[in-house]
Amino acid sequence: MAIKLGIIGAAGRMGRRIGVLACQDERFTVACAIERPDHPGQGVDFGELIGLGKLDLSISSTWSTRLEVLIDFTTPEATIKFLSSAQKDSVPMVIGTTGLSASQLDRLKIAAKDIPVLHAANMSLGVNLLFHLVGQVAAALGDDYDIEITETHHRFKKDAPSGTALELARRICAATGRDFNNCLTHGREGREADRQPGTIGMHARRQGDVVGEHTIAFSTLGETVELSHKAHSRDIFARGALEAAAWLVGKNPGLYNMLHVLGMQNTPPT
C-alpha cells in the first residue's frame, strides 16, 4: 500500500517539486495538499497546479483524511502550527523549513516525545556528507586555519545566513570546542574589522535564482583547503524529503535528521 502523504506549503517552490516527484514515486499517494487559508490556490486542483493534469485533489488549508506522513516546507510560524496538529493526530512529520528560532527548535523536541519528527536544514545527500566531514577537517587542520563560510542563494530567500551554513558552523564548533553562540562573525565592515582568532566568518550572498551554494574555506599562511557544495536544482532537496518521509513512517517518536536516514549518524535521535 502506498504511503498517504500530506504536503504543507504545497504551492511553494519546494511543495510543487515534492508534489511532482511524489506523484511519480510508487511508494507515495499524495492525499493532501495544504496551503495558507488566504492563498489564491485554495480549492484549485493540485495536479493542475503542478502541471500533471487533474488529480481530484483540491488544495486546502488543513487535512481531513488519515495521513501516514507530512512534509512541511513553509515558514517557521506555519511549521509550529502544523506540528501541533501532527502531534494531536499522531502523524510523523518531515520538516524542511529553515530559520526556526531556539524556542521553535525546542518545540520540535517536545513534539518528538510523541511523534517521529525529522528536521533537516538541508535534505541533499551531498550537503549531509559535508555535515559529516566538516568537523573532521576542522579538527584535523587545527587552530591556525582561519575558517570562513560563504553561502549563496536566490533573491527570494528570507532567512540569512542559511540554515545549512549555520549547521556547518555548529558542526565545526562541536568538533573543535568553539562556542557556537560566540564565535560567528557575520560579514565585516569598518576600521576595526580585523579577524579575531578562533572566529568563524559567515557570509551570505543573495543573487538571482541560485538554488544554493556553500563553501567552507580553511586558510593558513601558504594554503587554503575548501569544501564546497553546489545544488543544481531543488529536486535534490525534494528527493531527500521524500526519502526522509518513507524512512520516518513506522519509526519510534524522536527527533531525527538526514544523517539518520543516510545511516551516517551513530547517535540516537534526541
Query: Is 14 an interacting residue with respect to ligand NAD (CB under 6 A)?
Result: yes
Is 39 a known active-site residue? no
Question: Taking Cα atoms as reference points, which of 28, 37, 38 lies closest to residue 7?
Answer: 28
Is 113 a known active-site residue? no
Which one of 6, 19, 92, 96 is in contact with ligand NAD (CB under 6 A)?
96
The dihedrals phi and psi of 200, each to the nearest 5 degrees, come to: -115, 120
CA distances from 85 to 77, 91, 143, 235, 236 (A): 13, 8, 46, 27, 28
Shortest separation between residue 72's beta carbon and ligand NAD, angstroms: 8
The Cα 82–Cα 69 span in angstroms is 12
Query: Is 152 an interacting residue with respect to ligand NAD (CB under 6 A)?
Result: no
Query: Is 35 an interacting residue with respect to ligand NAD (CB under 6 A)?
Result: yes
Count of residues binding ligand NAD (CB under 6 A)?
Answer: 24
Sheet holding 59-60, edge to edge: 59-60, 28-34, 3-8, 69-72, 93-95, 116-119, 254-256
Q: Which is nearer to ligand NAD, 96 or 116 (CB)?
A: 96
The Cα 71–Cα 248 span in angstroms is 11
Which one of 28, 31, 63, 75 is in contact with ligand NAD (CB under 6 A)?
75
Which one of 20, 23, 39, 265 is in contact with ligand NAD (CB under 6 A)?
39
The Cα 121–Cα 128 span in angstroms is 10
Which one of 28, 73, 131, 218 is in contact with ligand NAD (CB under 6 A)?
73
Query: Is 67 an interacting residue with respect to ligand NAD (CB under 6 A)?
Result: no
Burial class from Cβ neighbours inside 10 Å (0-12, 13-18, 19+) for residue 22 reads buried
Query: Is 257 an interacting residue with respect to ligand NAD (CB under 6 A)?
Result: no
Residues 99-138 touching ligand NAD, rule: CB under 6 A, are: 99, 120-123
Q: Which is nearer to ligand NAD, 74 or 152 (CB)?
A: 74
Annotated active-site residue in 39, 81, 132, 157: 157
**Cell numbers linked to 169:** 558552523
Question: What is the DSSP annotation of 57-89?
Answer: -BEESS--S--SEEEE-S-HHHHHHHHHHHHHH
Query: Is 83 an interacting residue with respect to ligand NAD (CB under 6 A)?
Result: no
Shortest separation between residue 253's beta carbon and ligand NAD, angstroms: 21
The Cα 163–Cα 120 span in angstroms is 9
Which one of 6, 70, 98, 247 is in contact with ligand NAD (CB under 6 A)?
98
Query: Is 151 an interacting residue with respect to ligand NAD (CB under 6 A)?
Result: no
Shortest separation between residue 178's beta carbon and ligand NAD, angstroms: 24
Q: Helix, strand or coil for residue 219?
A: strand
Residue pair 156/193 in contact (Cβ under 8 Å)? The answer is no
Residue pair 218/225 in contact (Cβ under 8 Å)? The answer is yes
Annotated active-site residue in 4, 119, 153, 260: 153
Query: Is 9 an interacting residue with respect to ligand NAD (CB under 6 A)?
Result: yes
**Which residues of this protein are in contact with ligand NAD, per CB under 6 A?**
8-9, 11-15, 34-36, 39, 73-75, 78, 96-99, 120-123, 237
Catalytic positions are 153, 157
